[in-house]
């Protein structure tokens, strides 16, 4: 099973991201469907059922307070080789570190976690310089929301794209 840990986004945040997606500069690729928008806290990859049970039990041990997260800037990982367009989600790093610590004996810790929501996947761009100039002009409305839970999810790759299924929901205090 292909597994990851994530924070789902409330509808108002998804709507704000949709507005951003609608004004993205021209590119060839695919915008992330609204129902698939999320923040990945940790990607576990293909794991067996016995490891999945260990993960579920370890995640149940996490005691973490609810917190506020907010959308911030838009960007790309590498301006020379643009593959992902993202929006940063602020204030999620501590929860991610806590998850990393809990799973440290099962999975390697993240080396460079960057709290982002993938809003589009790029195949090609005709004019990279113009694209980046236009992208930098987009101002993100800093929508804030309370994070009350995180989820253990399964990702199934389908012809029409990824399909996500919640396996467990972990409430924050």
What confidence category does residue 159 fall into, taking pLDDT thresholds of 50, 70 and 90? confident
**Would you call 155 a catalytic residue per the annotation?**
no
Q: What is the pLDDT of residue 173?
A: 96
Encode pLDDT of 85-118 as tens digits.
999 999 999 999 999 999 999 999 998 999 999 9
Which one is catalytic: 14, 31, 38, 151?
A: 38
Q: What is the mean pLDDT of residues 56-74?
A: 97
**154, 2 in Cβ contact below 8 A?**
yes
- Average pLDDT of 57-75? 97
The tens digit of pLDDT for each residue in 7-56 reads 999 999 999 999 999 999 999 999 999 999 999 999 999 999 999 999 99
Alpha carbon 57 to its chain centroid, in Å, reads 23
**Confidence check: pLDDT of 146 > 80:** yes
CA angle 58, 64, 69 (to 5 degrees): 120
Predicted confidence at residue 158, as pLDDT, reads 84
Query: In the prediction, which pLDDT does 89 show?
Result: 97
Average pLDDT over residues 146-171: 93
Question: Is residue 86 among the annotated active site residues?
Answer: no
Judge whether residue 130 has pLDDT over 80.
Answer: yes
d(CA 85, CA 24): 9
Annotated catalytic residue: which of 31, 102, 116, 153?
Answer: 116
Per-residue pLDDT at 160 exceeds 80 = no
3 state DSSP class of 25 = coil
Structure tokens at 9: 């986004």
What is the reported pTM?
Answer: 0.95
Domain 2-171 homologous superfamily, CATH: Cyclic phosphodiesterase (3.90.1140.10)
What is the per-residue pLDDT for 31? 96
162: pLDDT confidence band, cut at 50, 70 and 90?
Answer: confident
Give the pLDDT score at 161: 77
What ranges do the domains of the chain cover? Answer: 2-171
Nearest-10 Cα torsion for 23, 29, 30, 31: -20
Note the pLDDT of residue 139: 94
For tokens 């800037």, what's the residue? 73
């Amino acid at each position: 099973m292909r597994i990851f840990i994530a924070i789902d986004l409330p509808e108002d945040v998804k709507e704000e991201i949709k507005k951003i997606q609608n004004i993205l500069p021209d590119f060839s690729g695919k915008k992330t469907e609204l129902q698939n928008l999320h923040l990945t806290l940790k990607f576990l990859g293909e794991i067996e059922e016995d490891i999945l049970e260990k993960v579920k039990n370890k995640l149940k041990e996490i005691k973490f307070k609810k917190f506020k997260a907010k959308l911030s800037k838009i960007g790309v990982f590498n301006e020379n080789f643009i593959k992902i367009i993202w929006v940063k989600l602020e204030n999620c790093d501590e929860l991610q570190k806590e998850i990393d610590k809990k799973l440290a004996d099962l999975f390697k810790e993240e080396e460079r976690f960057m709290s982002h929501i993938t809003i589009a996947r790029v195949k090609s761009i005709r004019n990279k310089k113009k694209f980046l100039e236009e992208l930098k002009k987009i101002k993100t409305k800093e929508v804030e929301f309370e994070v009350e839970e995180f989820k253990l999810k399964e990702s199934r790759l389908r012809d029409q794209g990824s399909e996500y299924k919640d396996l467990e929901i972990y409430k924050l205090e």
